[in-house]
């Protein structure tokens, strides 16, 4: 289990670094933008944007914090301006 405050610390980091959420089932979820995740007490909602319009969302998944094993950083270069 990952506590909601721990997950929030990854999402609110400045600069934000993309993360991978590892589930007990072996499934993984990549988070490349913090605004694509909403954290509640026991779950997160992970949004997937429409391919041709990143401001619109066409899918979302509700994921239990209880079933998360750990979070790791993705090996993605951080832009020079920290965004």
pLDDT in tens, the chain (83 residues): 999 999 999 999 999 999 999 999 999 999 989 999 999 999 999 998 877 777 788 899 999 999 999 999 998 665 565 55
CA-derived radius of gyration, the chain: 13
Number of domains in the chain: 1
Asked if residue 78 is part of any domain, the answer here is no
pLDDT for position 22: 97
pLDDT for position 4: 95
Look up the domain containing 60 and give its range: 4-73
Phi, psi of 29 (to 5 degrees): -130, 125
Please report, for the domain that includes residue 18, its CATH number: 2.30.30.100
């Amino acid at each position: 289990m990952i506590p909601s405050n721990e997950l929030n610390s990854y999402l609110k980091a400045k600069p934000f670094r993309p993360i991978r959420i590892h589930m007990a089932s072996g499934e993984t979820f990549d988070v490349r933008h913090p605004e694509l995740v909403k954290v509640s007490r026991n779950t997160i909602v992970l949004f997937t944007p429409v391919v041709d319009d990143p401001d619109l969302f066409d899918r979302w998944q509700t994921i239990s914090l209880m079933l998360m094993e750990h979070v790791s950083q993705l090996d993605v270069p951080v832009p020079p301006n920290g965004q």
